[in-house]
């Protein structure tokens, strides 16, 4: 499978996420679009790791070249889980203060 297919797929998913952040006003949906962008990057990292592994496997059958990409994907998932817990807590607090999750009400940090 050519690497270009995966690059185009991930670019499409990432652009859909960018469009969602730009067009939606609900803070939760904006947050979900950020998750979508993270997942597009994860998929591309795995695809590149398999590409470099395929190159190295031709000369050495016991190599583990390219495994770093998958370890990075694991750490990205770890950070995303921590980010979601804090971000959703902030959204709940914002809803308690303003009774809305509209991001246009967030343009002032004070008062």
Residues from 50 through 69 that contact another protein (CB under 8 A) = 50-51, 53-54, 57, 64, 66-68
Q: Which of residues 18-37 bind another protein (CB under 8 A)?
A: 18-20, 22-26, 28-29, 31-33, 35-36
The per-residue b/e assignment along 58-68, b for 16 or more CB within 10 angstroms, e otherwise, is eeeeeeeebee
Give the nearest distance from C-beta 108 to another protein in angstroms.
18
What 3-state DSSP class applies to 26? strand
CA torsion angle 33 24 14 38 (round to 10): -20
Say if CB 38 and CB 13 are below 8 A apart: no
Q: How far is the CB of 84 from another protein (least distance, A)?
A: 5
Nearer to another protein, 94 or 108 (CB): 94
Query: What mask, x for binding another protein by CB under 8 A, covers residues 70 to 109?
Result: xx-xxx-xxxxxxxxxx-xxxxxx-x----xxx-------
CB of 37 to another protein, least distance (A): 10
Of residues 71, 91, 72, the one with CA closest to residue 83: 91
């Amino acid at each position: 499978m050519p690497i270009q297919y995966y690059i185009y797929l991930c670019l499409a998913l990432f652009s859909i996420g960018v469009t969602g952040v730009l067009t939606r006003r609900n803070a939760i949906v904006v947050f979900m679009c950020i998750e979508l962008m993270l997942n597009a990057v994860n998929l591309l990292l795995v695809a590149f790791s398999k590409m470099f592994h395929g190159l190295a496997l031709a000369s050495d059958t016991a190599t583990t070249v390219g495994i770093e990409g998958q370890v990075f994907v694991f750490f990205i998932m770890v950070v995303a889980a921590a980010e979601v817990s804090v971000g959703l807590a902030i959204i709940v607090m914002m809803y308690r203060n303003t009774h809305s999750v509209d991001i246009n009400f967030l343009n002032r940090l004070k008062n």
